[in-house]
Amino acid sequence: MEYFVIIISAIFVSNIILSQFLGICPFLGVSTRISTSVGMTGAVVFVMTIATITTYLLYYYVLEPLDLVFLKTIVFILVIAALVQMVEIILKKSSPSLYQALGIYLPLITTNCAVLGVALLVIQKNFQLMESTVFAIATGIGFGLALVLLASLREQLDLVNVPKGMKGIPIALVTAGILSLAFMGFSGIV
C-alpha cells in the first residue's frame, strides 16, 4: 500500500512540474510535439531513476559516513551531469532521429532541476532505497504525463485560430496554468 501511495502522489498529487514547478524549461521547450515529448520522457525517467539510485548510495554510504553531507548538492550535480552525458552518447548511437529531435534539450537534463530535486527529495523524505527508486520512476512518469498532455494540447492549438499575440509560448503558459489547476483537483487523494 505504501508504494501505491508514493506512485499516486508522485504522478498526480505532487506532480513535479504542475505542483512543485520543477523542470519548467524542458516542459515548455520540448512540448511542441508528442513524439519529442515521449522521447524526452524516456530520457528523463532513465536519468532520474539512475541518478536517484546513485546519489542515494553515495549519500548514505560515502558522504554520511565520512561526514561530508554538506557536499551533497555538488556531488549530486556531478553525478547527474555524468549520467546525462552517458544517455546522450547512447541516444546518438541507438536513435539518431530522437537525438536530433531532442536537440539542445537533452543537455538541459543536466540542469533540469526536477532530476536534482528528486535526488534531494528522497534524502529529505528519508526514503529507503526501494522507495526512492519507486518515487523516482513515478516522478518521471508524472513529468512525462504533464509533458505529453501539454504537447497534445499544443498540437491541437496549432490547428485552431489563436490570436496573433498569444501564439507560441504565451498560449502554452496559459494552457500549462490551466493544466496545473486541473491537477490541483487530485490534492487530498493521498
Neighbours of 38 (CB within 10 A): 16
Q: How confident is the model at residue 105 (pLDDT cuts 50, 70, 90)?
A: low
Report how far residue 90's alpha carbon sits from residue 46's, in angstroms, rounded to the nearest whole number.
12
- Output the average pLDDT for the chain: 89
What pTM does this model have? 0.88
Does the CA dihedral 34-39-43-49 come out positive or negative? positive
Half-sphere exposure of 63 toward its Cβ, with a 13 Å CA cutoff?
17
Tell me: pLDDT of 1 over 80. Answer: no
pLDDT digits (tens, 9 = 90+) for 122-160: 999 999 999 999 999 999 999 999 999 999 999 999 889
Residue at 185: amino acid letter: G
Model confidence over 17-63: pLDDT tens digits?
Answer: 999 989 888 888 888 889 888 888 888 888 899 999 999 999 999 99
Q: Between residues 188 and 41, which one has the greater pLDDT? A: 41
Q: Where do the domains of the chain lie?
A: 11-184
∠ CA 164-168-171, nearest 5°, is: 80
**Share above pLDDT 90 across residues of the chain, in percent, rounded to a whole number:** 56
